[in-house]
Structure 1
Amino acid sequence: MLRTTFTEAFGIDHPIVQGGMMWVGRAELVAAVANSGALGFLTALTQPTPEDLVKEIARTRELTDKPFGVNLTILPSITPPPYAEYRQAIIDSGIKIVETAGSNPVDHLPHLKDAGIKVIHKCTSVRHAVKAELVGVDAVSIDGFECAGHPGEDDVAGLILIPAATRELTIPVIASGGIADARGLVAALALGADGVNMGTRFMCTAESPVAQAVKEQIVANTERDTKLIFRSLKNTARVATNAVSTEVAEIEKGGCEFSDIQHLVSGARGRTVFEKGDLDAGIWTAGQSQGLIHDIPTVAALVSRMVTEAEALIAGRLSEMTDMRVGAAS
C-alpha cells in the first residue's frame, strides 16, 4: 500500500481524500469512501440545521466503522449560517477530523483542538497555506487552478502550486485539482504531496447522490467543458458549461454587479441540477478533470484501481526509466 505521513497521521489506508462538496457530501458517498480505505467528508452545510448534521453523522456511522470527517466551509454572508452551532454538533458527535475551507479557521481552531480534532484546511495559494500552518492546522489541501469550485484569483496550476507549497510547509500537503486517476496520484506524490483530494471524480461514482444525468454528462464532457464565472467580481468559480454558466459569463463581459446575476446562480438552482438531473436548471461545479473521467464505477472499484495502477506505475514504468538511465550512465 502507498503509505505517507498523511495516511499515518489520519489513520487511513490510502492517500486519497473525498473533500466536502455542497449537496454531494452525504452519508452514502462518505461511508463508501471510508470503507474503501480513503478519507471522506460529509458537508456540514448541506444539512439544513446542526441537528440534521448530527443525524447524518449517525447515519454514516451505521454504514461504516472507518474514519471519516466533516467539512465546514466558512464564507462571508449577509445572513451567515450558525457556524458555532454546526461546529458544536461536530464536536458533540465525536468527529475527529474536520476539513475547513473559505475564511481563515483561526476562530474555530481552539474549540476543535480542545476536542482532539485534526484539521485540514483548503487553500488556493502558498501564502494562505503558510498562514494556515502558522495558526495550527494539521494539514492543508492545496487547490490548483484546474479544480472545481473556487480556485482563487492567482491562476496557478497544480504542477507549480503543489511543489511550491510543499517546499514551504512542514505539515502534510494534499494535492487538489485536476486529479482523477492513478497518474494524478503518482504525479502529486512526485511533486511532494502526501495525498490527493478528488471532488469531480468522486461525484461521478455509483454511490454519489447526484442524479444519473449529471454523472453521464461528466463522462461525456471534456477538459474544455467548464466555465470560469465571477471573475469580474474577484470571486472566481469553475463550473460546468451549460446554458446558465454561459449566460452568466456573457453578462459579466459587459460588466455587472452580483445582483445582476444573483437570480441565475442561486444555490437552490444548483441543488435542483444535482437532485433532479436538469442540467440547465442552474450552475453546478465541475473541474477540468472531467476530461479524464470515462466511467461511473463504485467507490471501492475506483480507489482500488487507483492504488493498484499507481503502485504498478511506480514499480513498472518509472522504475524501468530509472534503470535505463543507470544503464546508460554505466
Structure 2
Amino acid sequence: MSIPYQTDITRLYGIRLPVVAGGLMWLANADYVAAASRAGIMGFITAASFPEEQQLRGEIRRCRDLCDGGPFGVNVSMLPKLVPGEKTQQVFETIIDEGVRFVETSGRSPEAYLPLLKSAGVKVLHKVPAVRYALKAQSLGVDAVAIVGAECGGHPGMDMVGTIVNTAWAQHALHIPYLVGGGIGHGSQIVAALAMGAAGVVVGTRFLVADEIWAHAEFKQRLIQAQPTDTDLCMQSIKNTVRTLRNETTALVKAMEVENPQVTIADLMPLVSGQIGRNAYKTGDWSRGLLAAGHALAFVDRAEPLAAIVARLQEQMLQAMQRLDAVRRVAASVD
C-alpha cells in the first residue's frame, strides 16, 4: 500500500511515512528502532539509556544489523546546563565514529556541537517544547525541528501550548521542515498536521505498547486501560514540567510542590529518579516512578507489533484523505 505524497521529512530520512518514533528513555533500543525502520518510519536509539561508550557502540551496531540498510538515528538528550563530567561531546564523537547519519537532540541548545556534526555530514533534528525555541534552533542551522505540545508525554515545557496551535503557528514562523508531537496517535491527525504545514509527526505514547518495547506486560496493560485523563503534570515548580501516568509518585510529588514552594530537584530525586522508572518497566509495577505518557492514550488499545500499529496509522491516513476528497468533490459540484 503506497502513500500518494512525500514530505521534506520522508525525503530527509528516506522513509515511507512522515512519522518519527519518539525517543523513549530506557525503551528505545535497537529492537524498537529497527522495527520502526523496517515499518517505514524513523526511530532514534536513546543514548542516555546506554551510559557507557561501549554499550552505545554495541547498540548502534546491533541496530544497523537489524535495520538491514534502513535508516535510524541516535537521540542525545542534554541537561539544561553543561555540568562537570557530562559526556555529551564523547557521545557525539561515538555517533560520528560509528557512521550514524541522523541525530535527534533535545534539552539545551545543540549550538556547541553543530560544527562537529555538520562537518561529519550528520543531519540534526532538534526537539523543542515551543515555537520560540524552534525559531532559535532554525537560526543555528539545524536541519529540522520537532515541536511537542502540551498533550505530550514527558516534557512539554512551560508554555503549554497545544499541538494543533503549534502546528499552524509554526507554518508561519519557520522555513525549515518541522514535525509536531503531543497527543498524536491516529492517522487522521497526521493528515491534519500535514495540511497545516508540518512535514510529519512525532509519535511516542501510541508506540509504548508495541511488542518490540521490552517493558513488562502489566505496564502495557495499564496503558491499554488508561484514558487521556489518567495523566498528571508535575515538577512545574522547578521549571521542569513532566506529563506522566498518574500514580502514587505523581501524587506525592504534587503534594511536595504545594507544601514547599521552594522545593528543589534534589528534594524530589528520591521519588523521580530515572532508575525508579526503569524498575517499573522491568517489574510492571506502574504505581511508582515518573512514567511518561501523554494524551495519545486515547488511541492505545492493544499490544501488537510496531509494524501493525504503523499499518493502522497508514490506513487511517488514507481514510482521512478519502474524507477530504469527498469534501472537495462536494465543493466542486457546488461551484
Structures share fold, TM-score greater than 0.5 = yes
Q: Which is further off, 103-112 or 185-194?
A: 185-194
Q: Distance in 1 between matches of 2:85 and 2:204?
A: 25
2:54 pairs with 1:61: no
* Matched residue, 2:317: 310
2:289 pairs with 1:282: yes
Cα offset for 1:308? 2.4
SS of 1:294's partner is coil
The partner residue of 2:78 within 71, 74, 81 is 74
Q: Which is further off, 146-155 or 246-255?
A: 246-255
Cα offset for 1:259? 3.0
Identity across the alignment (%): 38
Q: Distance in 1 between matches of 2:286 and 2:278?
A: 11
SS of 2:121's partner is coil
Cα offset for 1:214? 1.4
Q: Distance in 2 between matches of 1:312 and 1:289?
A: 19
Deviations 1:54-91 (A, max 9, x none): 00001112211200000001113655531111111100
The partner residue of 1:206 within 211, 218, 232 is 211
Q: Which is further off, 201-210 or 138-147?
A: 201-210
Q: Distance in 1 between matches of 2:177 and 2:170?
A: 10
Deviations 1:260-290 (A, max 9, x none): 3221111110111112211123121111111
* Matched residue, 2:194: 189
> What is the identity, as a one-letter code, of the residue corresponding to 1:292?
F
Cα offset for 1:9? 2.0
Q: Distance in 1 between matches of 2:272 and 2:55?
A: 25
Cα offset for 1:10? 1.8
Q: Distance in 1 between matches of 2:320 and 2:249?
A: 40
Q: Distance in 2 between matches of 1:239 and 1:80?
A: 29
The partner residue of 1:168 within 170, 173, 178 is 173
* Matched residue, 2:50: 47
Mapped contact 2:158–2:241 kept (Cα < 8 A): yes
Aligned residue runs from structure 1 range 77-116, under 5 A: 81-116=86-121
Mapped contact 2:47–2:76 kept (Cα < 8 A): yes
The partner residue of 1:295 within 287, 302, 321 is 302
The partner residue of 2:330 within 317, 324, 328 is 324
Q: Distance in 2 between matches of 1:105 and 1:323?
A: 46
TM-score when normalising by structure 1: 0.96
Q: Distance in 1 between matches of 2:205 and 2:101?
A: 25
> What is the identity, as a one-letter code, of the residue corresponding to 1:296?
A
SS of 2:71's partner is coil
The partner residue of 1:152 within 140, 149, 157 is 157
Q: Distance in 1 between matches of 2:26 and 2:302?
A: 21
Equivalenced residues, count = 328
> What is the identity, as a one-letter code, of the residue corresponding to 2:196?
L
Cα offset for 1:137? 0.4
Deviations 1:106-160 (A, max 9, x none): 0111111111100000011111101101101000001011001111111100111
Cα offset for 1:163? 1.1
Structure 1 residue runs of 5 or longer lacking an equivalent are: none
List structure 1 runs of 4+ shifted beyond 6 angstroms.
Answer: none
Q: Distance in 1 between matches of 2:135 and 2:289?
A: 35
> What is the identity, as a one-letter code, of the residue corresponding to 2:39?
S
- C-alpha spacing 1:112/1:77, structure 2 compared with 1 (3 Å): closer
* Matched residue, 1:131: 136
SS of 2:106's partner is strand
TM-score when normalising by structure 2: 0.95
Q: Distance in 2 between matches of 1:144 and 1:284?
A: 18
Q: Distance in 2 between matches of 1:275 and 1:298?
A: 19
SS of 1:99's partner is strand
CA RMSD of aligned residues (A): 1.3
Cα offset for 1:181? 1.5
- C-alpha spacing 1:183/1:80, structure 2 compared with 1 (3 Å): farther
Q: Distance in 2 between matches of 1:282 and 1:229?
A: 12
Q: Distance in 2 between matches of 1:7 and 1:283?
A: 33
Q: Distance in 2 between matches of 1:281 and 1:126?
A: 33
